[in-house]
Structure 1
């Protein structure tokens, strides 16, 4: 199937383009971006022109930041195109619900992607936890914003989500693997005095579940989820790439293609072929609740 990438930035070049080019399901037929392009692929700077000029492209993958994404998704859906949304699927829950309603009315597929759910050991962790009683769960998600978003001031603007941009990856795994849902009960959000979104957050959930997100970790990436149960402790490390059960590392068990984004594109191909929609918003609900319930603490200014 022919697909167009809209928004040719770091995530598109690092993850989306290689995943599409390696997939037997997809042909990267066009891009649309104000600043970026892909060598050998037809490039547009105006999305309306792309939609008009290339009716043969039935699927678009939207990779730009979340704030402008709604208008592009709306235009694509109303033009009868299937839409794949980079995480988070929108700048607000209302936008996401509106897009789902439009997609159902137009009869097109819509996919809210959560790439961390496609990490190697997430399916195995979900399967192991399915019949367990969870007694405690904790997320530690620490990384450097300078490393992963160098100079990208939009992450600190309204709608950019701040530390929840990586933190929602952890929440997407948590909501996937826990055998019973949890809800937020409180939060402490640390805002640099010169920024509009938080640089760190501590979250408390029902079910003795908690999380710590921090974008100021300059030493190493720490992406870990620990779940204590009545049958022992499961730990997902490296963002779900490794699983440890009761201090013993487990080997990979699923046979899907290696890499999170190839698995996402395989899922999108299946959705289009089935005429289905996947708009699970559980991770975004937790983020919205954190902004609603969280206490605000002002911390030192941040500059790149």
Structure 2
């Protein structure tokens, strides 16, 4: 029998990704939506999480596709009510919030899934397998996109907790922490803050690799035209390039392997597996790198940003 699921937050990412993935998976039944401004045809609509929990006790799973700032309160209420919870990335606005939610899920015997959709891109597993058999020499992340295209008018991303350019940048970090056979740590960063904003619009990161490889990342939210989501890799036995955020992979000069956009379908398949087996999945390693960037980063002021 399909699990009854409530989707909280009916914005662009919910309509583009969450709803199609839920409806395509027989393990799920989209039973309710929670949003102050929008609903989904054919299902119950509630203004807040309290109304959902009061009126639909039959719903067993809550998926949160809202900005990180209010997410903790919503997740905590759902966990306390005995609901399984799925968190859109980033899982919270602070590590402490995430640790608290993880402990709450254990105490209430329910599943908590901190999702990283870019890890589930089609060609990430192949790149992970490639690196497992080689010695890394150089890794360069280039993640540049147009904030006006992907977050039109969304002021929350520029507020504390919204993460600024790390909202997309954390996708690259989720791939990095998945494909490497060992952990790495940040050694330094420069963060460019628009003079009228509280979060950065660009960032340059440097990492320490235990094998001595050169490793860095460039994030920028000012790129117009074609968008860039690339990871370039050099090893002792050939090179690889992951592009389109993980949909395309070229290894050792071979023609690129082209995937499709299955990330959210894979997320909901993973959530179904976790619920069935009574487990949680809360890997916070990508967010640790972001927090370290804010801690170690040198702040630079750049031109004001306006939508």
User: TM-score band, normalised by the shorter chain?
Assistant: over 0.9
In the other structure, the counterpart of 1:6 is 8
| In structure 1, distance between residues paired with 2:198 and 2:154 | 14
Distance in 1, matches of 2:261 and 2:94, equals 31
Q: How many correspondences in the alignment?
A: 301
Q: Is the 8 Å Cα contact of residues 131 and 179 (structure 1) preserved in structure 2?
A: no
Cα deviation for residue 252 of structure 1 reads 6.1
Q: Distance in 2 between matches of 1:238 and 1:162?
A: 21
Residues 181-221 of structure 1, C-alpha deviation per residue, up to 9 Å, x if partnerless? Answer: 11000000000000000000000001221000000001211
Q: 1:144 aligns with which of 133, 142, 146?
A: 146
Query: What is the alpha-carbon distance in structure 2 between the residues aligned to residue 252 and residue 134 of structure 1?
Result: 23
Partner of 1:159: 161
Q: Is the 8 A contact 1:132 1:179 kept in 2?
A: no
1:235 aligns with 2:238: no
Name which of 251, 254, 276 aligns with 1:248.
254
Match status 1:189 vs 2:191 = yes
**What's the Cα RMSD here?**
1.1
- In structure 1, runs of 5+ residues without a counterpart are none
Candidates 223, 226, 232, aligned match of 2:232: 226
Match of 1:297 in 2: 300
- Distance in 1 (CA, whole Å) between partners of 2:129 and 2:39 is 40
Three-state SS of the structure 2 residue aligned to 1:141 is strand
Cα pair 1:144 1:217 within 8 Å, conserved: yes
Aligned to 1:94: 96
Change in CA separation of 1:192 and 1:252 when aligned onto 2, cut-off 3 Å: closer
Distance 2:243 2:48 in 1: 41
Task: Report the equivalent of 2:271.
Answer: 268
3-state DSSP class of the match of 1:27? strand
Taking the TM superposition and a 5 Å limit, the aligned residue runs for 1:109-124 are 109-124=111-126
1:288 aligns with 2:291: yes
Note if contact 2:250-2:257 (Cα within 8 Å) is conserved in structure 1. no
Cα separation, 1, equivalents of 2:237 and 2:26? 41
Q: Is residue 27 of structure 2 the alignment partner of residue 21 of structure 1?
A: no
User: How far is 1:271 from its partner?
Assistant: 0.2
Paired with 1:46 and 1:287, the residues of 2 have a C-alpha distance of 30
Q: Distance in 1 between matches of 2:30 and 2:77?
A: 20
Instruction: For 1:181 and 1:248, locate their aligned partners in 2 and report how far apart those are by CA, in whole Å.
Output: 28
Asked if 1:217 corresponds to 2:223, the answer is yes
Structure 2: tracts of 5 or more residues without a match: none
CA distance in structure 1 between the aligned counterparts of 2:257 and 2:218, rounded to whole angstroms: 27
SS in 1 for 2:183: coil
User: Matched residues in 1 for 2:40 and 2:286: separation?
Assistant: 31
**Residue of structure 2 in register with 1:48 after alignment:** 50
Alignment check: 8 A CA contact 1:242 1:249 kept: no
* TM-fit CA distance, 1:251: 3.3
Shift >2 Å, 4+ stretches: 249-253
Give the superposition deviation at 1:247.
Answer: 1.7
TM-score by length of 2: 0.96
